[in-house]
């Protein structure tokens, strides 16, 4: 069954950079093909934009290549700051992972359908996902689905669920 609306996917910086790392490039590139084909809309967080501003030009070109109607820019709002702090206070992540907590808080507060990342230690991690979602539910947000790119993209002849 195919969804009638595009999936709202928050992509952290690792997905953009993954286009240029051998072990991540195929799935990262397919993710952006899905965006260009209209199956996905990228939620681009303020933290991702700040990190991309420091990235090599070829990584920045990925954002520039996306149509404006395929991107939703997501600022750090008071709700995002409160949620980020709640993740830190709950011990889901330590203060050294402030930006990773911000990525998850932006995705949650801006109603992403899912967050896509290659950061397995702090984001795409079973225990961390449980912790994020426990905080989300306690603060009356919905659960956030968190996946790596291969889990949500398929080859040209395969359908996405």
Mean pLDDT for the chain?
A: 93
The predicted model scores a pTM of 0.92
- Render pLDDT for 106-151 as a digit per residue (tens, 0 to 9): 999 999 999 999 999 999 999 999 999 999 999 999 999 999 999 9
Contacts of 87 (CB under 8 A, 6+ apart): 93, 101, 104, 105, 131, 132, 135
φ, ψ for residue 110, nearest 5 deg: -100, 15
Give the pLDDT band of residue 8 (cuts 50, 70, 90). Answer: very high
Cα angle for residues 125, 131, 133 (degrees, 5° grid) = 100
With the C-alpha atoms ordered 54, 112, 114, 121, is the resulting torsion angle positive or negative? Answer: positive
Determine the Cα–Cα distance for residues 53 and 105; give it in Å rounded to an integer: 20
Domains of the chain: residue spans and CATH: 7-151 (3.40.50.1010)
- Render pLDDT for 47-106 as a digit per residue (tens, 0 to 9): 999 999 999 999 999 999 999 999 999 999 999 999 999 999 999 999 999 999 999 999
């Amino acid at each position: 069954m195919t969804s009638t609306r595009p999936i709202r996917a928050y992509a952290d910086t690792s997905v953009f950079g993954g286009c240029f790392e051998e072990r991540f490039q195929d799935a990262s590139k397919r993710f952006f093909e899905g965006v260009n084909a209209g199956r996905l809309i990228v939620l681009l967080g303020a933290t991702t934009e700040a990190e991309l501003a420091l990235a090599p030009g070829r990584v920045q070109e990925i954002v520039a290549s996306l149509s404006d109607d395929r991107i939703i820019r997501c600022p750090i709002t008071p709700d995002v700051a409160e949620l980020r702090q709640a993740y830190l206070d709950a011990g889901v992540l330590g203060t050294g992972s402030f930006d990773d907590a911000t990525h998850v808080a932006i995705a949650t507060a801006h109603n992403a359908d899912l967050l896509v990342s290659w950061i397995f230690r702090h984001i795409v991690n079973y225990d961390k996902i449980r912790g994020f979602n426990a905080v989300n539910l306690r603060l009356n947000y919905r659960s956030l689905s968190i996946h790596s790119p291969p889990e949500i993209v398929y080859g040209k002849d395969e359908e996405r669920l």
